[in-house]
Amino acid sequence: MTDVVSPGVAATALPPTSRVDRYFALTERGTTTRTEILAGVTTFLTMAYIVLVNPSILSAAGMPVASVAAATCFAAAFASILMGLVANTPLALAPGMGLNAYFAFTVVGQMGVPWPVALGCVFISGLAFLILTLTGVRQMIVAVIPPYLFAAVAGGIGLFIGFIGLKNAGIIAANPATFVALGDLKAPGAALALLGLAVIGALSVWNVRGAMLFGIVGTTIVGWLTGQVSVNPAPYDLSALTGTAFKLDLPGVLGLTGTHGIGLVEILFVFLFVDLFDNIGTLVAVTKRAGLMDAAGRIPGLNRILITDAVATMVGSIAGTSTVTSYVESAAGVQAGGRTGLTAVVTGILFLATMFVAPYAQIVPLAATAPALIIVGGLMLLPLTEIEWEDPMAAIPAFLTVAMIPLTFSIANGLAFGITAHAALKLIRGRATRTDWFLFLLAGLFVVRFVWMSAA
């Protein structure tokens, strides 16, 4: 997969009529400005839930909700507009589900890293992503990871997100005998979340654009009517929007030594690898659906897309949010006819406009964002269908990856189990080759990590 198309190259059958047409190659790709605008609005509606859900997750790390909402809008706007202008692809971006949970619950919650330092880690992982892409090392890494592990990580993250949603809703609860059990469904929060689940589910099966967004807003209104939501009508202070901007602590990252030393390597590794996995998986899914892949199965402008992603992650961390990634929801815009970067630019402009209502994100209760987590989690299971489950060489590492991510509440553990099992089975089956040295290096590091963790 290499960079084969530049934006603005327009070998048209019909002469392009405007500069916009020439820049985005609208006529060449058989689309119009109107179709692209509609597609951009469609993508925005399907992914706008992140403006409410991301702050609700990152607030678990102690980050201010209004500021994270603003940072989410800004990062999504910046990244989507850049993607449209630089890579001319109908791909919108935003802070990714999965890594936001890893950021809040594992890095800050379990490892005790302060959130500004965690933002510093996100910045460095974005920089590393950029360097790996520019030097071609990324291609080498992708080559040693089998496609089924990409799929398994995506599915495992889907279960992880769904698990967090069910837990946030109180639909499941801790149980000393069985670890996890059914929660009290009559509790107000659980009942409200179940209602939200029903509403989003119904809107989704009716193919309503913005099902997720309307479901969250509708659930919040019901929560308000039933006295579960306190709405503070005071006008908001615009300075609240900048509570996370420029707060990243880079020197603090270098200070993560001692007990955090090995943790730092792991944090950077997970941020980097999951961003890489997320992007490649999403790109394949969306460009395939848009018919933008070339005959050899290559993604046009791949390097530009990944460079944009890396820069977006760095800018997002400066604004105050976890890793920014290409959104699989962009497929909705593609379904609506979007074929060029103009679609992404329109989505980005809408995110920019949303920034000014960001402080109201605080009104939305956990019970209203939980149903979105559950449904997004379910949708992220789709890549699991690509795994050859009848082949134990694939099924065993894939299952370990899928199971360990939610059950250990850690993407890192799932990655570690999957990659180690893949390497071990390759060795046992006598299929290891010299070109697999990087795979075995990774697996070796994971084994050292497991030994170190159990000794700690």
- In the complex, which residues of this chain contact ligand ADE (CB under 6 A)? 96-98, 278, 282, 325, 327-329, 376
Determine the straight-line distance between the first and last CA of the chain, rounded to whole angstroms. 42
Q: Which residues pair with 325 in a beta bridge?
A: 94
Please say which residue, 48 or 387, places its beta carbon nearer to ligand ADE: 48
Please say which residue, 165 or 189, places its beta carbon nearer to ligand ADE: 165
Q: Which residues pair with 95 in a beta bridge?
A: 324
In the complex, minimum distance from the CB of residue 106 to ligand ADE, in angstroms, rounded to a whole number: 15
Please say which residue, 97 or 361, places its beta carbon nearer to ligand ADE: 97
* CB-neighbour burial class of residue 424 (10 A; exposed 0-12, middle 13-18, buried 19+): middle
In angstroms, the CA 285 to CA 383 distance is: 9
What separation in angstroms does the CA of 219 have from each of 182, 207, 245, 370?
22, 19, 30, 10
In the complex, minimum distance from the CB of residue 142 to ligand ADE, in angstroms, rounded to a whole number: 16
Please say which residue, 276 or 376, places its beta carbon nearer to ligand ADE: 376
What separation in angstroms does the CA of 343 have from each of 22, 86, 186, 228, 336?
15, 13, 43, 38, 10
Please say which residue, 319 or 376, places its beta carbon nearer to ligand ADE: 376
Which residues make Cβ contacts (< 8 Å) with residue 347, sequence separation at least 6?
A: 40, 41, 43, 44, 47, 76, 80, 92, 330, 333
Q: State the Cα torsion 99-268-321-383 to the nearest 10°.
A: -30
What DSSP element (H or E) covers 181? strand 179-182
In the complex, minimum distance from the CB of residue 152 to ligand ADE, in angstroms, rounded to a whole number: 15
Please say which residue, 50 or 65, places its beta carbon nearer to ligand ADE: 50
In the complex, minimum distance from the CB of residue 5 to ligand ADE, in angstroms, rounded to a whole number: 22
Please say which residue, 122 or 376, places its beta carbon nearer to ligand ADE: 376
Which residues make Cβ contacts (< 8 Å) with residue 368, sequence separation at least 6?
A: 52, 192, 193, 196, 216, 219, 220, 223
In the complex, minimum distance from the CB of residue 99 to ligand ADE, in angstroms, rounded to a whole number: 7
In the complex, minimum distance from the CB of residue 95 to ligand ADE, in angstroms, rounded to a whole number: 8
Please say which residue, 129 or 327, places its beta carbon nearer to ligand ADE: 327
In the complex, minimum distance from the CB of residue 278 to ligand ADE, in angstroms, rounded to a whole number: 4
- Residue in the shown chain whose Cβ atom is closest to ligand ADE: 96
**Residue 13: count of CB within 10 angstroms of its CB:** 7
* CB-neighbour burial class of residue 188 (10 A; exposed 0-12, middle 13-18, buried 19+): middle
Residue closest to 372 by CA, chosen among 229, 217, 222: 217
In angstroms, the CA 400 to CA 423 distance is: 13
Residue 123: both structure tokens together: 């910045």
Please say which residue, 27 or 325, places its beta carbon nearer to ligand ADE: 325
In the complex, minimum distance from the CB of residue 331 to ligand ADE, in angstroms, rounded to a whole number: 9
Alpha helix ranges (H) inside 2-144: 19-24, 33-47, 50-58, 65-82, 99-101, 115-135, 137-144
In the complex, minimum distance from the CB of residue 376 to ligand ADE, in angstroms, rounded to a whole number: 6
